[in-house]
Structure 1
């Protein structure tokens, strides 16, 4: 009987850790992440407190761009590629991170495991536990730091690059990104 329970427990642990059960990778109609070595162009973007420089970019469909993001401000900032609807949704997620103490004005704290909020292994309460900032179209940059994001733009369209930390987008930390044929 002991071995039977051990095998069931081992099977459950294996199933829970299996990558086959993980959420599928996010895909975006406008493009996909790429290795820096594939970049056909590098664009440097300076992040100030509530500003991007430059404020607008022109990209060609099919182009792979390496964004070098330099935070010269005093606050934590984000560089996120997407459309208005995506930014709105992401802002709500970032607000939750701020409310649970993970997101501070100058840094992103490592997520803490809250087993009580997780319902002892069930999916109940997962959104009250640790959240992660791991979208492939987004990067956080601490004050005085530099980060990179490389992206291949698949199709023409109007996008934005934005900081979705609560209040930053609304304060004007958003730029226009036009992808042409």
Structure 2
């Protein structure tokens, strides 16, 4: 039974990689922190980000310093609303797999073990810090959001405007 769970989890984690080329996003690409033009600190609380909106320029490389001051794990993910909707469905599927595996062995911390390797996303444990550095290439509005099930719907989303 354990082997089936791990095989299913591996297949689920592989789906995003098969859907599009690695590091291919219309609004930009991951970058090395040393290449950043500036750093922006973002506080992650339980169901909020501070600041709630950001403005960057096309061609700018930004190092996001993420500080989770909340009681549960939160995610920082860059993308448009459609991308976040797809990611939320993946997160719900991961949660369902974890719930099935736990089968009554106590509840897991909300967001725990929902890890993946999407280059536009970072999961941050409570009380921890993480970083994501990104070069924005195209002037377009996107969002930064937490796609842990229920968090986006509770208002954990911010506006990121990529200007000229």
TM-score by length of 1: 0.73
The one of 52, 56, 61 equivalent to 1:55 is 52
In the other structure, the counterpart of 2:105 is: none
Answering whether residue 113 of structure 2 is matched by residue 108 of structure 1, we say yes
Q: 2:37 aligns with which of 40, 43, 49?
A: 40
Partner of 2:24: 27
Alignment match of 1:164 (pick from 143, 147, 150): 147
**Structure 1: gaps of 5 or more residues:** 1-21, 110-131
Matched, 1:139 2:122: yes
**CA separation of 1:48 and 1:59: change in aligned 2, threshold 3 A:** same
Contact 2:67/2:129, CA 8 A, preserved across alignment: yes
Greater Cα radius of gyration, structure 1 or 2: 1
Runs of 4+ in 1 over 2 A off after TM superposition: none
The whole-number CA distance in structure 2 between the counterparts of 1:86 and 1:55 is 19
* Structure 2 Cα separation of the partners of residues 107 and 37 of structure 1: 30
Aligned pair count?
Answer: 138
Matched residue SS, 1:139: strand
